[in-house]
């Protein structure tokens, strides 16, 4: 190949046809998975989404069904019970689940990104067999416990400690806002093994839920994603074998940050699903609702809101899929994940607000999906790094 006309760079055949090519089309398999998840959602998720939010209650029956579909460990190898698919496929599954019920989408995200990734990336073969496999098979649920009452964004300010005592570590401290905690079979707990080293003294531990000395608190009554379980976790002289250290002493900060980089793609997918649902509801309602003798979709004010919504949702989708694609290609994805989460989360917040505007008074009433979507959207701007943190990650990357 002679190169592109007007292009000063000699583009080689292999580069041009190889990994640099941009794909804007999902594979047939990814489309099939999307169609399968949509059907699953119509049958099982959508019908109970309102009840799950209102009561609230954890949709355990659907989590079991997700496991039956092999959707609890989508991007992990089959040798550990995963589906051996790519991260983009997992992203699509979280998007579609969240379109129907954000609490269900987030529960899967927590299982796959937060609890399983640290084991997959940093676990020994024995740790993977023992803990990653049941997580991928959905036989147990997992939690990632980093946040503390005094340490949110400032992760290194945590006061949970792990002290080596013979062949055991003894953990003490309190973790805050831990998702899946009340139903978890295993926790990834972050604790300091050397306070004098700050972030470099942070270590990660595998703590089975039946260990004496670990106790999840009451389910917190949340504004949104009310069906997903979140509680504090208290560690009181919690003794675990030395072999439950993940990675190595002092690796905790790195493990947490790498886990959150991938997790942010999952949260972007959750936000994308919520924003898409807000658009779906708005298109449908605007065609049905008649005022001044016409459907409100015939008014330009409504049409422009819908046009802006559709454009922002599509932009979020491109950013989210691109971040997942970078992950799959083994390319750096930290900045891409932060951009996707930032854009998708703020899009979800804006679009759910617009969706209520398009619905008028009825959108403000409980039991209408857009009211739930509005409350569910907010958390995507907060957890796994706030929007301010996303801007810090992005600016840190472009100013390097
Ligand atoms: C429903 C829910 C589920 C969660 N699940 C989990 C979980 O499973 N595991 C887990 O470990 N954690 C979890 N979290 C915790 C979540 O990740 C934190 O709430 C989040 O990181 C923010 O920390 P914070 O709440 O302490 O806020 P703070 O850190 O106190 O931040 C308060 C405000 O200050 C801003 N801010 C802080 N520092 C800076 C700075 N340097 N520059 C600019 N602005 C700044 C923040 O952006 C925010 O706007 C969950 C939280 C919720 C609400």
Tell me the pLDDT tens digit for each residue of 217-243: 989 999 999 999 999 999 999 999 999
Q: What is the mean pLDDT of residues 257-269?
A: 98
Residue 1 has pLDDT above 80, yes or no: no
Cβ atoms 158, 150 nearer than 8 A: yes
Q: What is the mean pLDDT of residues 271-292?
A: 98
Q: What share of the chain in percent tops pLDDT 90? A: 93
- Cα 325 to Cα 322: distance, rounded to the nearest angstrom: 5
* Per-residue model confidence (pLDDT) at position 3: 38
Q: What share of the chain in percent tops pLDDT 70? A: 94
Closest Cα partner for 341 from 263, 226, 224, 225?
Answer: 263
Residue 92 has pLDDT above 80, yes or no: yes
Cβ atoms 188, 115 nearer than 8 A: yes
Mean pLDDT score of the chain: 95
- In order of their start, the domains of the chain are 28-140 (1.10.540.10), 143-252 (2.40.110.10), 254-398 (1.20.140.10)
Residue 220 CA, closest ligand 1 atom number = 1
* Per-residue model confidence (pLDDT) at position 24: 82
Residue 47 has pLDDT above 70, yes or no: yes
Closest Cα partner for 189 from 202, 152, 218?
Answer: 202
Residue 207, helix vs strand vs coil = strand
Going by pLDDT thresholds of 50, 70 and 90, the confidence category of residue 5 is low
Mutational test site, ligand 1, from 114, 182, 382, max ligand atoms within 8 Å of CB: 382
- pLDDT one-digit tens code per residue, 117-127: 999 999 999 99
Residue 191 has pLDDT above 50, yes or no: yes
Type and span of the H or E element at 278? helix 252-288
Closest Cα partner for 95 from 152, 26, 146, 142?
Answer: 26
Q: Is 323 in the pocket of ligand 1 (CB under 6 A)?
A: no
- Cα 294 to Cα 289: distance, rounded to the nearest angstrom: 8
Q: Is 15 in the pocket of ligand 1 (CB under 6 A)?
A: no
* Per-residue model confidence (pLDDT) at position 17: 45
Between residues 109 and 5, the one the model is more confident about = 109
- pLDDT one-digit tens code per residue, 339-395: 999 999 999 999 999 999 999 999 999 999 999 999 999 999 999 999 999 999 999
Residue 180 CA, closest ligand 1 atom number = 8
- pLDDT one-digit tens code per residue, 301-337: 999 999 999 999 999 999 999 999 999 999 999 999 9
Closest Cα partner for 30 from 278, 341, 269?
Answer: 269
- pLDDT one-digit tens code per residue, 195-209: 999 999 999 999 999
Catalytic residue among 95, 312, 384, 388: 384
Going by pLDDT thresholds of 50, 70 and 90, the confidence category of residue 262 is very high
Residue 154 has pLDDT above 70, yes or no: yes
Residue with CA at minimum distance from ligand 1 atom 30: 152
* Per-residue model confidence (pLDDT) at position 369: 97
* Residue 37 DSSP class: H
Going by pLDDT thresholds of 50, 70 and 90, the confidence category of residue 10 is very low
Residue with CA at minimum distance from ligand 1 atom 19: 383
Residue 81, helix vs strand vs coil = coil
Going by pLDDT thresholds of 50, 70 and 90, the confidence category of residue 166 is very high
């Amino acid at each position: 190949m002679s190169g592109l006309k007007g292009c000063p760079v000699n583009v080689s055949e292999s580069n041009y046809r190889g990994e640099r090519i941009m794909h804007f089309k999902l594979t047939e398999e990814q489309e099939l998975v999307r169609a399968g998840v949509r059907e699953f959602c119509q049958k099982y998720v959508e019908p109970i989404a309102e009840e799950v939010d209102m009561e609230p209650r954890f949709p355990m029956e659907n989590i079991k069904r997700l496991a039956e579909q092999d959707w609890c460990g989508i991007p992990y190898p089959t040798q550990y019970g995963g589906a051996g698919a790519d991260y983009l496929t997992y992203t699509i599954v979280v998007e579609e689940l969240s379109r129907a019920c954000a609490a269900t989408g987030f529960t899967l995200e927590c299982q796959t990104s937060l609890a399983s990734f640290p084991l997959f990336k940093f676990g020994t073969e024995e740790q993977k067999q023992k803990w990653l496999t049941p997580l991928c098979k959905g036989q147990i649920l997992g939690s990632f416990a980093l946040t503390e009452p005094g340490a949110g964004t400032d992760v290194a300010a945590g006061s949970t400690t792990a002290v080596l005592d013979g062949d055991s570590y003894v953990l003490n401290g309190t973790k805050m806002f831990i998702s899946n905690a009340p139903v978890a079979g295993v926790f990834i707990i972050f604790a300091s093994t050397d306070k004098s080293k700050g972030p470099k003294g942070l270590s990660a531990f595998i703590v089975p839920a039946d260990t004496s000395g670990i106790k999840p608190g009451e389910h917190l009554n949340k504004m949104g994603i009310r069906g997903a379980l979140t509680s504090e976790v208290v560690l009181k002289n919690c003794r675990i074998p030395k072999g439950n250290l993940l990675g190595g002493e002092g690796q905790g900060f790195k493990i947490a940050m790498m886990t959150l980089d991938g997790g942010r793609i999952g949260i972007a997918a959750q936000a994308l699903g919520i924003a898409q649902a807000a658009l779906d509801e708005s298109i449908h309602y605007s065609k049905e609702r008649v005022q001044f003798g016409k459907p409100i979709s015939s008014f330009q004010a409504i049409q422009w809101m819908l046009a802006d919504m559709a454009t922002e949702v599509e932009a979020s989708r491109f950013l989210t899929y691109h971040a997942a694609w970078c992950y799959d290609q083994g390319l750096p994805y930290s900045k891409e994940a932060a951009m996707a989460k930032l854009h998708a989360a703020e899009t979800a917040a804006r679009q759910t607000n617009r969706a209520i505007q398009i619905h008028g008074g009825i959108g403000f009433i409980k039991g209408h999906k857009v009211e739930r979507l509005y409350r569910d959207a907010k958390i995507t701007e907060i957890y796994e790094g706030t929007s301010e943190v996303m801007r810090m990650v992005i600016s840190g990357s472009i100013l390097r």
